[in-house]
Amino acid sequence: MTSDQLSPAQKAASTWVPGFFDRLGWGFGMAVVTGRDESGSVGAYGWDGGLGTIWRNDPREQLVTILLTQCAWTSPVPPPVCLDFWREARAGA
């Protein structure tokens, strides 16, 4: 279950962060990238922990990223440290 399991109707009915499901879906307990974004290619999956722990597996790029911080997110949008980390990790792959 590393593919998006939500239907378009479920995504449309969601009151979650506006635009969240434009590029992400939901697999078995983890986010699945459905449109290329900062965190990975389509098909990448992982978990964004709001308390500062994130991981992604990107089979297409053969890349696993893990970031452990002690900074809780203050919004549903990933903080700059996460975006910088993903960008640098993909640039070095």
- 79 lies in some domain: yes
Q: pTM score, two decimals? A: 0.79
Tokens of 59: 């089979």
Residue 2 located in a structural domain: no
- The contacts found for 13-18 with CB under 8 angstroms, 24 or more apart, are 16/76, 17/76, 17/77
The answer to whether residue 1 is domain-embedded is: no
Residue 85, SS3?
Answer: helix
Is residue 31 assigned to a domain? yes
Residue 45's Cβ-count burial label (10 Å; 0-12, 13-18, 19+) is buried
Contact between 71 and 43 (Cβ < 8 Å): no
Number of domains the chain is built from? 1
In a domain, 3, yes or no: no
Q: Provide the residue range defining the domain that includes 27.
A: 8-92
Q: Is residue 76 part of a domain?
A: yes
In a domain, 62, yes or no: yes
Reading the chain (93 residues) residue by residue, the pLDDT tens digits are 688 999 999 998 988 778 888 888 988 888 899 987 776 788 899 988 888 889 999 998 899 999 999 888 888 778 888 889 888 888 876
